[in-house]
């Protein structure tokens, strides 16, 4: 049951306001508010809990690219899709350290390493532990996203100094089976429990714009908000349509619906960082400004996400200047 997480991990991360039992219907009611009312509510919550003009910056690095056994329909890295992609085996430690140093020099405070695995083999995990230790030693917050964890792996990650484990629920439980068939929503909840159980902070969000109904978006947000405590970081990704994946031709979502999703995440998870994540490259500055107004206070920063392009760092800096935003 998805609610098991709330029971098993209660009280592990005390700085988060306690979760409340948001239902899908309650979040749907937020979605249905007039746009200005929804944004006003989100701004009010945002200002109660955060510096309204501060935005945190995380940089991503794909440390193992492509050839993944899983069939997630949106993803360029599945071995089952035809996306054009340079596969790459696990990076060398010095390549990771160079990228982390460059991210820090540009102003990122968190470095997130991603691997295209169903989950890490123990031998590969040892190498990732070295990466975590080295990145941590540079004074950056560390985050990894490695897929499903087996017994004992979360504890090893924690011991190596990992601050955040990223593992997205991606959508509502009742829609998940139409997106992925090689693992289940329950598998993902189980990994989140393992990461929490080892005392790590959680980065967990989803993808919007996969052809889902509004009720599905509301279901995802309610599910995330019911986690107790809620994830410290909530990445809200806009689907990046990648040629060769089954989602290449997904019709575009009304951009205001994306802004509404950010606002609902802000209202239901007041203490969390809400990250305006994948998809910024395709967004106008004005749409991004609306997302910040709706309560987004974190971005992926740097010219690349995992396999696709991100908004360029210079463009972000110019946008921060124009909006009077400052990095944290």
Counts for the chain of helices (H) and strands (E), in that order: 12, 10
Query: Between 96 and 239, whose beta carbon lies closer to ligand SAM?
Result: 239
CA atoms within 13 A on the CB side of 116: 25
**Cβ of residue 90: shortest distance to ligand DTB, in angstroms?**
16
**Cβ of residue 321: shortest distance to ligand SAM, in angstroms?**
27
Buried-exposed string 277-288: b where 16+ CB fall within 10 A, e elsewhere:
bbbbbebeeebb
Length of the chain: 328
291 is an active site residue: no
Q: CA–CA separation, 230 vs 104, rounded Å?
A: 27
Tally Cβ neighbours within 10 Å of residue 45.
18
User: Which does residue 27 touch among ligand DTB, ligand SF4, ligand SAM, none (CB within 5 to 8 A, set by kind)?
Assistant: none
User: Which does residue 170 touch among ligand SAM, ligand DTB, ligand SF4, none (CB within 5 to 8 A, set by kind)?
Assistant: ligand SAM
264 is an active site residue: no
Question: Residue numbers of the site for ligand DTB (CB under 6 A)?
Answer: 60, 76, 114, 145, 166, 168, 205, 235, 237, 240, 277-278, 305-308
Active-site residue identified among 188, 217, 226, 275: 275
Per the CB < 8 A criterion, the answer to whether 58 and 143 are in contact is: yes
Active-site residue identified among 41, 75, 264, 280: 75
203 is an active site residue: yes
143 is an active site residue: yes
Residue 64, phi then psi, degrees to nearest 5: -150, 120
User: Which does residue 223 touch among ligand SF4, ligand SAM, ligand DTB, none (CB within 5 to 8 A, set by kind)?
Assistant: none
Catalytic residues: 68, 72, 75, 112, 143, 203, 275
């Amino acid at each position: 049951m998805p609610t098991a997480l709330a029971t098993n991990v209660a009280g592990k991360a005390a700085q988060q306001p306690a979760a409340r039992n948001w239902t899908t219907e309650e979040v749907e009611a937020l979605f249905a508010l007039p746009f200005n009312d929804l944004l006003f509510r989100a701004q009010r919550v945002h200002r109660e809990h955060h510096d309204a003009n501060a935005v945190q910056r995380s940089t991503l690095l794909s440390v193992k690219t492509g050839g993944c056994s899983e069939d997630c329909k949106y993803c360029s890295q599945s071995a089952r899709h035809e996306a054009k992609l340079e596969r790459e085996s696990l990076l060398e430690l010095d390549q990771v350290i160079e990228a982390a140093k460059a991210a820090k020099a540009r102003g990122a405070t968190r470095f997130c390493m991603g691997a295209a695995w169903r989950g890490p083999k123990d031998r590969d995990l040892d190498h990732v532990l070295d990466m975590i230790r080295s990145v941590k030693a540079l004074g950056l917050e560390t985050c990894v996203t490695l897929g499903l964890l087996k017994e004992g792996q979360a504890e090893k990650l924690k011991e190596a100094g990992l601050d955040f484990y990223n593992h997205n629920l991606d959508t509502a439980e009742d829609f998940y089976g139409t997106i992925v068939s090689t693992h289940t929503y329950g598998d993902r909840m189980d990994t989140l429990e393992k990461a929490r159980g080892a005392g790590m902070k959680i980065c967990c969000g989803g993808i919007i714009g996969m052809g889902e109904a509004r009720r599905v978006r509301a279901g995802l947000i309610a599910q995330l908000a019911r986690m107790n405590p809620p994830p410290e970081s909530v990445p809200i990704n806009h689907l990046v349509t990648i040629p060769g994946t089954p989602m290449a031709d997904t019709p575009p979502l009304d951009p205001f619906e994306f802004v509404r999703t950010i606002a609902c995440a802000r209202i239901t998870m007041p203490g969390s960082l809400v990250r305006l994540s994948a998809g910024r490259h395709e967004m106008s500055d004005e749409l991004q400004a609306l997302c910040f107004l709706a309560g987004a206070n974190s971005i992926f920063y740097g010219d690349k996400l995992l396999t696709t392009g991100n908004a360029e760092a210079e463009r972000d800096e110019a946008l921060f200047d124009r909006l009077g935003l400052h990095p944290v």
